Amino acid sequence: MYDQKYLGCINGMVLCVDEADSYNIKGRIFHLYQNDPLVFQSYNEMFFKSEKFFNDLGCPRANQSDRDFNGKVISNFALKGMDKMKKDEEILEEHGELGTFIIRVQHRQHSSWQGRVTWLDENKTVYFRSELELMKLIDGALNDKQFENDDEN
């Protein structure tokens, strides 16, 4: 088995989960093309902020565009010439209190994400086909860790 602890592409980001409950997570997202992390208080906010960032970056391209009421396309999908702010090693040093994940969004199709997620604590990588499936994978990993911690106490 080989090590999955790398970003590997412009679409890669590190998700640090600091708090979680039955329905949501709170934490930070780190990306090579931003100095400060995206701080979020819910899955909804995480996806919304990440989607905006991907639109600003122009990658990965969405196959559906935002439009105004007149049907005019709002988003510009040309790569914006953003400068890389950090190195892979710097971002991979970040860790969440409950869990750390590398998310590589390979496609944004059907108004959702497709890609793969690596749970750094276990060095496990799984492919996902939608944001909902990604949420379930993250929740499952966090629940597994919760059960391990409960067994130790």
DSSP E strands, 57-109 = 99-107
132 compared with 67, residue with greater pLDDT: 132
Q: Give the pLDDT confidence score for residue 82 in this predicted structure.
A: 65
Q: How confident is the model at residue 38 (pLDDT cuts 50, 70, 90)?
A: very high
Mean pLDDT score of the chain: 80
Average pLDDT over residues 2-16: 74
Residues 94-123 have pLDDT tens digits of: 999 999 999 998 888 777 889 999 999 898
Residue 77: pLDDT band with limits 50, 70, 90: very low
Mean pLDDT throughout 13-37? 92
For residue 139, give every residue at least 6 positions away whose Cβ sits within 8 Å of its Cβ, in sequence order, or none.
Answer: 20, 25
Least confident range from 76-85, 122-131, 140-149: namely 76-85
**What percentage of the chain exceeds 70 in pLDDT?**
72
